[in-house]
């Protein structure tokens, strides 16, 4: 029986050696695949960083172009465009005096804005609601007047003649 035990022990050692070799081969394959994956991940990271910085550069360039275009458009507003712009702003935001600021009437715009703010503060008393409503009515009337005038008449009256009210 001892020969049988030795044969079984030798067979067991052979099987363990085979298992170790197979495990070593599998470990080598896993290590190789991990290195390949790591290299791919590093390459992907470099490509992502390059693409992100390229995208950021393009975004900054687009924003600068948009900003320059907006400034150029605002500076080149003609009489007709200011007429439509101020008319619509007077109707929508008339109580805040925005249309007065667009036309360059800073004092009158400040007066409308100040009266509206005082009206908002006094709205808890009740009279403030009437004040805000009246400044909004002034803006509505002026907006309608601006939009119904001809381009030449608007330009002469409000941009050259500087007529501040109605």
Co-location of 39 and 84 in the same domain? no
Average pLDDT over residues 24-30: 81
- What is the tally of structural domains in the chain? 2
Residue 162, classed as helix, strand or coil, is coil
pLDDT, mean of residues 84-93: 89
Q: Are 135 and 119 spatial neighbours (Cβ–Cβ below 8 Å)? A: yes
Interval 109-120 mean pLDDT: 90
User: For residue 77, is pLDDT > 60?
Assistant: no
Cα 51 to chain center, whole Å?
Answer: 21
Q: Rounded distance, CA 50 to CA 84, Å? A: 46
Among residues 40, 56, 76, the one where a domain terminates is 76
- Examine residue 41 and state whether it is found in any structural domain, yes or no: yes
Domain span at residue 121 reads 79-160
Q: Which two tokens stand for residue 148?
A: 């119904």
pTM for the whole structure: 0.49
Say how far apart CA 120 and CA 130 lie, in whole Å. Answer: 10
Whether 166 maps to a domain, the answer reads no
Residue 71 lies in a domain: yes
């Amino acid at each position: 029986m001892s020969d049988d035990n030795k044969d079984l022990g030798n067979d067991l050692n052979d099987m363990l050696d085979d298992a170790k070799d197979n495990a070593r081969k599998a470990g080598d394959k896993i290590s190789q695949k991990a290195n390949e994956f790591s290299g791919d991940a590093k390459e992907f990271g470099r490509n992502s960083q390059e693409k992100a910085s390229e995208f950021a550069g393009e975004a900054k360039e687009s924003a600068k172009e948009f900003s320059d275009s907006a400034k150029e458009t605002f500076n080149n507003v003609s009489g007709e465009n200011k007429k439509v712009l101020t008319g619509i702003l007077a109707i929508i935001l008339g109580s805040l005096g925005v249309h007065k600021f667009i036309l360059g009437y800073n004092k009158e715009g400040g007066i409308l804005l100040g009266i509206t703010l005082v009206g908002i503060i006094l709205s808890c008393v009740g009279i403030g609601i009437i004040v805000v409503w009246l400044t909004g009515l002034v803006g509505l009337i002026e907006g309608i007047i601006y939009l119904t005038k001809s381009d030449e008449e608007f330009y002469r009256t409000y941009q050259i003649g500087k007529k501040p009210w109605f």
